[in-house]
Structure formats: structure tokens, C-alpha cells
Structure 1
């Protein structure tokens, strides 16, 4: 219901999706825009009322659909360059999809599957701190998608802690994990995880009235995240670069997301009233 929504998280999702677009084009301010990723990961752990089937519709279906979309793009580019049509394929894509940004979906689905076993307060804290300690001891893997997973594991666990026990436990999990990383594995990503996850907790804790606008912002944020590489690809094909590419990509991604959202919510022909 509309009154159950938090307008602040709706607007936060929209801003974070634009941050992902900016981060992806390597423009100035890329490090600041990167805080959008842990922000999104925390919010992805919001529980589904439909259980595992709801998680599959929310995460697995978009992963498969957009993997096909970007797989077609890869194939078209291969044919244009007279390369083997499926030479771009590698087995890692089973876990990360056919474009780099899709890794977040199967990763979040795996986290959702194990989340019920991580919801005891001690287990929630222990899992987040143990993940940070493992990164300190073992380092960050270079192989994809495990490199991305090592970045995303703490925001995911902070999200699980929040939706199980609220902001206090989640904040303790976040600060403890950050301290372990800061002392044992200093890296810029540590601050990114801290700030992005902290902003997500703030948006979840504080509330704004939901509205039709906030709900629409939340919906199109999903399409912006999923579809934005298509707009970036068009911009690069037009030889747009640097800040101009960022602006083109953000505006174009919003327009494309609006078009997709309108098509997705268009009334079916059989439901039209004469």
C-alpha cells in the first residue's frame, strides 16, 4: 500500500541509479558516485512477501532477460567485426551475466536464499565481521565476479541485519566491519562501503511521505540501472566522452527508463474500456 512506502528510499534509489550511470563512464567524481553501489545493495535485501518465488521474479527474471538483451548486443558487435558470433561468451557469465553490471542480481538472490539463517542478532553481527576479517586475511580476489562479491558482501549483510533487527544492529555491523577493514586492509573501497551503506540506513530509518512521484522514481530507477549501458554505448558510438558522456548517459537513461516503464505498465488490449 502507498502508506507503507517510504518516499525517501524511493528518491534514494533514483539518485543511486544515476550514480551508477556516472560511475560507469569513468568521469570526474567517479569515486563519489561509487557510493551508490553499496546503497543499492543494502536496499536490495528488503524482504519479499512472496518468499523465494518473489525473489526470483525480482532478481532472477531481470537477470535472465537483460542477459539475453546484452548477449544480442555482444553478438551483433561480433558479427560487425567479423568475429565468431559467440566468441564473447565465457562461463563466468553464468554468475555475472552478459554485461558487467548484472552481477548484482544473482549475488543478491544467493544472499536472499541464505538470509533466513543469518537473522539471529549474534549471527548477523558475526557474519558481517567475519566477512571483513576474511577480506583482511585473504585479500580481495581479482577474478570476476568474486571481486565484486567481496565488495558487496558487507553491504548485503548490513541490509540483512537491518531488515531483521533494525538500524541499531545494522549500524553496529557496519561500523565493526569497517573498523576491521580499516585497520587490516586499508583501501578506498572501505570508505565507499561505509558511506554508501550508512546513507542507505539513514534513508531506511528516516521517512518521507510516499507519493505517485516517489513510486515512479523507484520504478524507473530499476530500469535506469538495467538499461543504462545501452545509452552509454550509443553515446560512445557518437564519440561523446568525459563529462558530456556522463550527462548524455544520465539524461538518456532516464528517458529510456521512462519509455520502458510506460510500456511495462501499459494496459493490455483486452482490458481497454470502450
Structure 2
């Protein structure tokens, strides 16, 4: 493990993944759990030496893979309900994926690709203020998935400010842009963005040593995010509802993610041995 790795952020990402699971179950408190999404988004700005091709492999290959998984699921559900097999298809899914949560991956690719262009303090701060002003003047885009992408802009720019210049510029970027949104475009999402992004800054500003447990949390967080709708669907098919569905989904999303992680590691080990 890297000596500079922050174990606290690994734990935070794991908790954020569980928060996304709870949000999608619509269990009591799900709106509070939504702060997990901007928490996740801040970390997209973390500096990386990976090439564009590596980033594409890391983000777009899972996007295509999981879109195929959920496309097969949607087709199966359509056939089960005696609907046309591809009645679920919408053209925006080329960018958003075949299930609602997959929009995150192409957005992450765009964010990581463009973030080096905004590392100057005036660039990240100015872009956040300009974006907030445009939202006040023109509203949030209604075309999918750009409404969701708009949700992620300020957390990403705040992350760029933090990783490039520290927490003072990050707080300034977040505070000024959110002030514009609160005054000019009141929305419950503003509170979600402010709290989730602020929590990410708190986690980033404190440090815990990396451990095997924190590394496990970091590795499972993405698998939980990608696979959890399958667990929720199973729970719903078993007629589990309310808080019980939330608890069921949390527990089995972690178990399912661990199964995926084990299979992936075994596959990689097999390739190395071959």
C-alpha cells in the first residue's frame, strides 16, 4: 500500500457506497443518504499519472460491461412482463448507461480528463462561480444525463481546488458557488451538494494510516456502487420493503461485491500464472 494513502478516505468511500445503496432502496432517510453522491464525486479530481487510455479502460470498460449486464436484465424483465423486449431502450443511454446509476462512469471519465485544465486557482474557482451563475440564469439541463452531470460539476471543481491548492481554496470554491445557487436557484439538491462535498473535504483534511481493512473498503466501494441494483431487485422480488429492504440491500451488496472482487482477483492471478 502507498505510504501516502489516507485510510480515512477509504473508509469514507465505503460508507458513501453504502449510502448510495440506501438511497436507491428509498428506505426512510434516503434523502439524507444522497449526500454520498457528491462525496464520491469530489474524489474524481484526485491527481493521477494514468494515461488517457488507462483512464478509459478503468472507467469506460466497466461502463460498457455493466450496461450490457443491465441491458440483459431490462430485456428479461420486459419479457417477463410481456412487454416488447427493447421497450426500455432510450437513446440517452448511450451516455447514461442502461441503469440509472451508470451515468457516473462516463461523467468520471470526462471529469478526470478535463481536470488538469482547471488546476490554476482562478480556473477552478472561476469555473465554479460561472457554472453556478449559468444554472441560476438558465436552470439545470433537462436532457439526460446532463442534469445529473450538472449535479457533479461543483463537487468536482471543489475537488480540483483541494488537490491543487488545499482546503482554503476548496472551501472558498464551494462556499461562493453554493451561495449563488442558494440565493438564485433554491433546491433541495443544493443542500445535498453542500453537505456531501463538505464532508469529503473534512475526510480529506484528516489522515489515518492505510491498513489492509481500509484497502479492502476502497476496493469494494466501486463494486458495491456498480452491482447494488441487482441486490435491490432481488430484495424487491422477495417482497422485502421499507427499512428491511435497506438493511437487506446493505448486507448483501457487500457480500455480492466481495464475490465479484474475489472472482476478479482470481481471474487476474490466473492470467499472471498463464
Q: Which residue number corresponds to residue 168 of structure 1?
A: 168
Which residue is 2:76 aligned to?
Answer: 76
Would the alpha carbon gap of residues 125 and 223 (structure 1) be closer, same or farther in structure 2, given more than 3 Å must change? same
Identify the residue that residue 222 of structure 2 maps to in structure 1. Answer: 222
Q: 1:102 deviation in Å?
A: 0.6
* Residue of structure 1 equivalent to 2:269: 268
Q: Does residue 191 of the first structure (1) align with residue 191 of the second (2)?
A: yes
Q: What is the aligned partner in structure 2 of residue 257 from structure 1?
A: 257
- Indicate yes or no: 2:60 matched with 1:60: yes
CA RMSD of aligned residues (A): 1.6
Q: What is the distance in 2 between the residues matched to 1:160 and 1:247? A: 34
* Contact residue 96 and residue 102 of structure 2 kept, 8 A: yes
User: C-alpha offsets along residues 172-227 of structure 1, whole Å, 9 cap, x if unaligned?
Assistant: 10011111111111112111111100111111121100001000001001100000
User: Which residue number corresponds to residue 98 of structure 2?
Assistant: 98
Is contact 1:108-1:156 (8 Å) kept? Answer: no
Q: For residues 118 and 244 of structure 1, what CA distance do their matches in structure 2 show?
A: 44
Q: Distance in 1 between matches of 2:221 and 2:178?
A: 28
Identify which range, 153-162 or 15-24, moves more after superposition. 153-162
CA-CA distance at 1:258 after TM superposition: 0.7
Q: Give the number of equivalent residue pairs.
A: 273
Q: Structure 1-normalised TM-score?
A: 0.95
* TM-score normalised by L of structure 2: 0.95
Instruction: Output one character per residue of 1:97-148: Cα deviation in whole Å (capped at 9) or x when no partner.
Output: 0000010111121122222221111111000111111111111233321221
Instruction: Specify the alignment match of 1:233 in structure 2.
Output: 233
1:138 aligns with 2:102: no
What is the match of residue 7 of structure 2? 7
Give 1:164 shift: 2.0
User: Shift in Å at residue 47 of structure 1?
Assistant: 2.4
Relative to structure 1, is the Cα distance of residues 269 and 30 closer, same or farther in structure 2, using a 3 angstrom cutoff?
closer
In 1, Cα distance between the equivalents of 2:223 and 2:136?
Answer: 35
Following superposition, the deviation at residue 53 of structure 1 comes to 2.1
Partner SS state of residue 3, structure 1: coil
Residue aligning to 1:108: 108
Aligned to 1:33: 33
The answer to whether the 8 Å contact 1:8/1:206 transfers is yes
Aligned to 2:147: 147
> Which runs of structure 1 show a deviation greater than 3 angstroms over 4 or more consecutive aligned residues?
267-272
Per the TM alignment, residue 56 of structure 1 is displaced from its structure 2 partner at its CA by 1.2
* More moved, 147-156 vs 12-21: 147-156
How far residue 270 of structure 1 moved from its aligned partner, in angstroms, is: 6.6
Would the alpha carbon gap of residues 212 and 87 (structure 1) be closer, same or farther in structure 2, given more than 3 Å must change?
same
Unaligned stretches of 5+ residues in structure 2:
none
CA contact (8 A) 1:67 1:99 kept: yes
Residue in 2 that maps onto 1:211: 211
Q: 1:120 to 1:270 in 2, by over 3 A?
A: closer
Unaligned runs of 5+ in 1: none
In the TM superposition, residue 271 of structure 1 has moved relative to its aligned partner by: 5.6
